[in-house]
Amino acid sequence: MRRLFPFLTEYRKECVLAPLFKMLEAIFELFVPLVMAAIIDTGIAKRDLPYIGRMCALLFFLAAVGLASAITAQYYAARAATGFATKLRHSLFEHIGKLSFYGIDTVGSSTLITRMTSDINQAQAGVNMTLRLFLRSPFIVFGAMIMAFQINVKEALIFAVTIPVLSVIVFGIMAVTMPMYRRVQSGLDGILNTTSENLEGVRVIRAFGREEDEARRFAGQNETLADLQRAVGRISGLMNPLTLLVVNAATIVLLYSGACQVDAAVITRGELVALVNYMSQILVELVKLANLIVTISKALACADRIADVLELRTEITDGDGVLPAEPAEGVPAVEFDHVSLRYAESGEEAISDITFRAMPGETIGIIGGTGSGKSSVVNLIPRFYDATEGAVRINGADVKDCRVEEIRDKTGVVPQKAVLFKGTIAENLRWGKSDATEKEMMEALKAAQAWEFVQEKPRKLNEPVSEGGKNLSGGQRQRLTIARALIGQPGILILDDSASALDFATDAKLRAAIGKLSWKTTVFIVSQRAASVMNADRIIVMDNGRIAGTGTHEELLGSNEIYTEIYSSQFETTESAGA
């Protein structure tokens, strides 16, 4: 939890005032049994009604001041806890946004969502309860014991024995449950991951009739989590009965011993009532403290999980160099110099010893089978990953020496999976250029072969887009993501299998339009279709993470076995079907 203390620095005043007012409330509460003792021993014993009236007025005053102190403390505690959670949530979201793909791959998106929501809520509750009760309850407990010693030392020894026994119970249960709460939160990660997979893949699940299998898998995970929660609940549930047992046993001993002391005229009836009241105060506060310990146990477990994410450091860091706006004469726009890449927790290299140069304005096609390393190559250009060996250069500058923001400003990326955000078509296009005009959006849509279907929409550019673009077809989503990348007029354009949902005619029109763009851009087309790359200036053939051949379509056809096989499997089948 201490790793999250910096998020409370703006709320130092609240963190001081909340416990302070709670302590003030506790002080007034400790005076109540003494006033009650005075009413019994003086007012009732002497039948002094005016004295009883004054003491009752004093009780009301103590109650009113205590209530005002409690409300003030609650306000400051809630203010600090809410502010803490708000700052923490903002910081965590910003930090996740800066993580490299390595970090996100390692932690997992479902885990990150759990830590952003459930874990932060638990930490917020922990801060709130700590500020309100963590000092107040021990103060009441030890304050009641001290007040008991002021009344009678012999009777106070019962308090001195009771409190250590209670402390062993409370802190012993806390020590056992804290690791279990961490496992509970990890179980929630698994539940969230399964739920997310089922929601995203509901069509696939139904297509293969796997609803019952997925229901059983979810039920199994849910039952495992429930068993763990029941186990930790059983242990935590021992807190209240054990503390009640100890305190009530102590109360019985106190009443018996106190009665003997009253008979011997060592203490008065009022003092015995005060002692019982102090024991009752201890009981109430220890029940509160027991519940507080459960809350703090959860909060500490969650705080550690949040801190673990905040301590993740991205491998993608800004360099001190400047990325040239344009390459010098004869310098390639993109250069790979003996580049290799190994993903996190992977023993084998995804790509090995990749070397090539792409000159300004060139179109480079990258083709190969599934898992050959095509996407891994282009993901190194905008620094989604960093090469583990070798160097990637843009306009002659090593990307590791440049600022990530500069690199991505010059790069337009259309990923394999078309991702759109809830809003309108115009709002999604402005991700590529925040101040894009309607004319610029129209030109980008035309180049991406998307203007035709956008024009048919009732609201055109202001047509709503649902979450993930679910109200659009796969081809429409792909064309909009291409338009989004084009609108910023990037110097490097990466099309990572971005036309897989397009028919051959639309794909051909798209490639022709990209070839006629009004600005000079170096284009990388990643595809498994030979038709998508055959008109490229150069084609790179990938196989098992290595370059298996480089050249034009004519040079590779017949001379490169892998390219020839891909081409033949697609075109000869098509020609045979046509015949």
Please name which of 255, 242, 253, 238 lies closest in space to residue 283, comparing C-alpha atoms.
Answer: 242
Statement to judge: residues 214 and 359 lie in one domain: no
Domain boundary residue among 248, 280, 310? 310
Residue 170 and residue 44: Cα distance in Å, rounded? 40
Please name which of 334, 404, 305 lies closest in space to residue 100, comparing C-alpha atoms.
Answer: 404
Contact 519/326 with Cβ under 8 angstroms?
no
Do the domain assignments include residue 13? yes
pLDDT in tens, the chain (579 residues): 667 888 888 888 998 999 899 888 888 888 888 888 888 888 888 888 888 888 899 989 988 998 999 999 999 999 999 999 999 999 888 888 777 777 776 677 767 887 888 889 988 988 998 888 878 888 888 888 888 888 888 888 887 888 788 878 877 887 788 778 778 877 877 787 788 778 777 878 888 888 888 888 888 888 888 888 888 888 888 877 888 888 888 888 888 888 888 888 788 888 888 888 887 787 778 777 777 877 887 788 788 888 888 887 777 778 887 888 888 888 899 999 999 988 766 667 888 999 999 998 899 999 988 888 888 899 899 888 888 899 999 988 888 888 888 888 888 888 888 888 888 989 988 888 888 888 888 988 888 888 888 888 888 888 888 887 888 888 888 889 889 988 888 889 998 887 776 777 887 888 888 878 878 889 999 988 888 888 888 999 998 889 998 999 888 888 888 888 888 887 764 444 443
Domain boundary residue among 471, 489, 507? 489
Statement to judge: residues 120 and 228 lie in one domain: yes
Statement to judge: residues 69 and 174 lie in one domain: yes
Do the domain assignments include residue 359? yes
Compute the chain's Rg from CA coordinates: 35
Domain span holding position 452 = 414-489
Residue 216 and residue 524: Cα distance in Å, rounded? 44
Please name which of 191, 183, 222, 190 lies closest in space to residue 304, comparing C-alpha atoms.
Answer: 183
Statement to judge: residues 228 and 356 lie in one domain: no
Residue 484 and residue 52: Cα distance in Å, rounded? 81
Statement to judge: residues 464 and 532 lie in one domain: no
Do the domain assignments include residue 315? no
Query: What is the tally of structural domains in the chain?
Result: 3
Residue 74 and residue 402: Cα distance in Å, rounded? 50
Question: Which tokens hold the place of 460?
Answer: 């055109």
Residues 91, 192, 88, CA angle at the centre, nearest 5°?
15
Do the domain assignments include residue 496? no
Residue 80 and residue 67: Cα distance in Å, rounded? 20
Contact 454/463 with Cβ under 8 angstroms?
yes
Statement to judge: residues 149 and 286 lie in one domain: yes
Residue 46 and residue 41: Cα distance in Å, rounded? 8
**pLDDT attached to residue 344:** 67
Statement to judge: residues 184 and 251 lie in one domain: yes
Do the domain assignments include residue 191? yes
CATH number, domain with residue 62: 1.20.1560.10
CATH number, domain with residue 467: 3.40.50.300
Statement to judge: residues 470 and 549 lie in one domain: no
Statement to judge: residues 525 and 474 lie in one domain: no
Domain boundary residue among 263, 279, 310? 310
Statement to judge: residues 216 and 354 lie in one domain: no
Question: Which tokens hold the place of 57?
Answer: 């007025």
Do the domain assignments include residue 499? no
Do the domain assignments include residue 543? yes
What is the distance between the terminal CA atoms of the chain, rounded to a whole angstrom?
Answer: 72
Statement to judge: residues 180 and 248 lie in one domain: yes
Contact 89/116 with Cβ under 8 angstroms?
yes
Statement to judge: residues 252 and 386 lie in one domain: no
Do the domain assignments include residue 173? yes
